[in-house]
A and B are shown apart, each in its own frame.
Chain A
Amino acid sequence: MSPIQLALLATFLPLGTAFSLIVLPGVRRAGKLPGYISVVTALVALVSALQLFAYGLEVHDIARVTTQWLPHSVLGASSAAPSTIEIGVLLDGLSVSMLVVVCLVAFCVQVFSLGYMADEPPADFGRYFTWQSLFLFAMNTLVIAPNLLQLFLGWELVGLVSYLLIGYYWKKPSAARAALKAFWITKLADMGLVAGLIVLFVNTGSFNWTGTVAVAGPVTLLLFIAVMGKSAQFPLHVWLPDAMEGPTPVSALLHAATMVAAGVFLVARAHPLFEQAPNTQNFMAYVGGFTALFASIVAVVQNDIKKVLAYSTCSQLGYMVCALGAGSQVAGFFHLTTHAFFKAMLFLAAGGLIHAVHSNDIHHMGGLFRKMKLTSGAFIIGALALAGVPGFSGFFSKDLILEEVWERGLYLPFAALLIAAFLTAFYMGRVVFIALFGKPSEHAEHAHESGFAMTFPLVVLAIPALCAGYFGAELSGMYGEATHFHLSPVGMTASALGLCGIGLSYFMFGAPQGGAALRTVFAPLGRLAASGIVDKSFLFGYRTVLRGFAGGIGWFDRYIIDGLMNAIGYVTLEVGARLRPLQTGKVQDYVYVMVVATIALGTFAAFLR
Chain B
Amino acid sequence: MTPTLEDLRPLSLDLALLLGAFAVLTVDLFLPHGRKRALGWLTLALLLGVFTASFFVDVSGPAFAGTYLGGPWALMWKRIALCAGALTTLASLDHVDRHFPTRQGEFYLLLLFCLTGMTILPGVRDIIPLIISFELMGIPLSVLAAYAKTEDKDGVHKHAPEAGLKLYLVSAVSTAITLFGLSLVYGMSGATKLDAIAHAQLSPLLSVGMLMTLAGLAFKIGAVPFHMWIPDTYQGAPTPVVAFLSVAPKASGFAALSAILLIAFRANQAPLASVLVLSIVASLLVGNLMALPQNDVKRMLGYSGIAQVGYMLIGLYTGTSYGVGMLLFYLTGYLVSNLGVFFVLEVVAPRRFGVDVSELDGLVRRAPWLGLALLMFLLSLAGIPFAVGFWAKFFIFMAAYRAGQTWLVLFGATMAIVSLFYYLRVARAAFMQPPATNETLQIRPALAAAIIVCLLGVVGMGLYPAPFLERAAAAAQAFLEGQG
Contacts and interface: CB of A to CB of B under 8 A. Distances in A.
Given A187-B420, A572-B289, A606-B207, A590 B170 contact: yes
A597 B225 contact: yes
B433 A170 contact: yes
Interface stretch (A190-198, A241-249, A502-510): A190-198
Contacts of A199: 401
Nearest to B472: A74
Contact of A183 (B170, B228, B397, B420): B420
Interface stretch (A30-38, A102-110, A149-157, A445-453): A149-157
A180 B421 CA distance: 8
Contacts of B397: 194-195, 198
Q: Is the interface of B mostly helix, strand, loop or mixed?
A: helix
B398 A198 contact: yes
A157 B402 CA distance: 27
Contacts of A164: 431
Contacts of B322: 76-77
Contacts of A569: 421
Interface string B411-448: 00110111011001000100111100000000000000
A335 B221 CA distance: 54
Given A180-B428, A601-B275, A576 B292 contact: yes
A608 B420 contact: no
B226 A597 contact: yes
B466 interface: yes
Interface string A573-609: 1011101100101010111011101100110111011
B470 A76 contact: no
Contacts of A156: 384-386, 390
Interface stretch (A65-73, A232-240, A357-365, A374-382): A65-73
Interface string B25-39: 000000000000000
A194 B469 CA distance: 19
A48 to B, nearest CB: 24
A604 B399 contact: no
A145 to B, nearest CB: 13
Interface in B297-353: 320, 322, 325
B368 interface: yes
A74 B476 CA distance: 11
Given A74-B473, A156-B384, A591-B169, A604 B417 contact: no
Nearest to B418: A572
B474 to A, nearest CB: 8
A57 interface: no
A183 B424 contact: yes
Nearest to B320: A76
B289 A576 contact: yes
Nearest to A28: B368
Contact of A70 (B274, B288, B469): B469
A388 B452 CA distance: 55
Contacts of B432: 167, 170, 176, 179
Interface string A438-471: 0000000000000000000000000000000000
Contacts of B211: 598, 601-602, 605
A70 B465 contact: yes
B274 A608 contact: yes
B372 A153 contact: no
Contacts of A609: 270-271
A579 B286 contact: yes
Given A70-B465, A77-B322, A601 B231 contact: no
Contacts of B270: 609
A187 B397 CA distance: 16
A602 B207 CA distance: 8
B271 A587 contact: no
B74 interface: no
Given A198-B409, A590-B228, A601-B275, A573 B166 contact: no
A69 B385 CA distance: 15
Contacts of B208: 602
A157 B414 contact: no
Which of A74, A167, A602, A604 has the most CB atoms of chain B within a 10 A radius of its CB?
Answer: A74
Contacts of A171: 434
Contacts of B420: 183-184, 187
Contacts of A75: 398
Nearest to A79: B402
B229 interface: yes
A572 B421 contact: yes
B291 interface: yes
Nearest to A156: B385
A16 interface: no
Contacts of B470: 71, 73-74
A290 to B, nearest CB: 25
A580 B473 CA distance: 39
Interface string A155-180: 01100100010010011000010011
Nearest to B204: A606
A577 B417 contact: no
Contacts of A526: none
Contact of B293 (A69, A195, A573, A597): A573
A108 B177 CA distance: 68
B413 A194 contact: yes
A564 to B, nearest CB: 15
B165 interface: yes
A529 interface: no
B394 to A, nearest CB: 7
Which of B211, B320, B397 has the most CB atoms of chain A within a 10 A radius of its CB?
Answer: B211
B19 interface: no
Given A74-B473, A572-B421, A598 B215 contact: yes
Contacts of B271: 605-606, 608-609
Nearest to A588: B169
A609 B211 CA distance: 14
A114 to B, nearest CB: 24
A415 interface: no
A602 B271 CA distance: 9
Given A167-B432, A605-B207, A22 B417 contact: no
Given A191-B416, A593-B228, 6 more contacts: A76-B325, A202-B402, A579-B290, A589-B228, A590-B170, A591-B173
A-B pairs, top 8 by smallest CB distance, nearest first, are: A576-B292, A74-B469, A76-B322, A170-B432, A597-B225, A191-B413, A576-B289, A590-B228
27 contacts: A22-B372, A70-B465, A153-B385, A156-B384, A167-B428, A170-B432, A179-B432, A184-B421, A195-B409, A573-B292, A576-B293, A577-B293, A579-B290, A583-B290, A587-B166, A587-B170, A594-B173, A594-B174, A595-B173, A598-B177, A602-B211, A602-B212, A604-B274, A604-B278, A605-B211, A606-B207, A609-B270
Interface of B: 165-166, 169-170, 173-174, 177, 204, 207-208, 211-212, 215, 219, 225-226, 228-229, 231-232, 270-272, 274-275, 278, 286, 288-293, 320, 322, 325, 368, 372, 379, 384-386, 390, 394, 397-399, 401-402, 409-410, 413-414, 416-418, 420-421, 424, 428, 431-434, 464-466, 469-470, 473-474
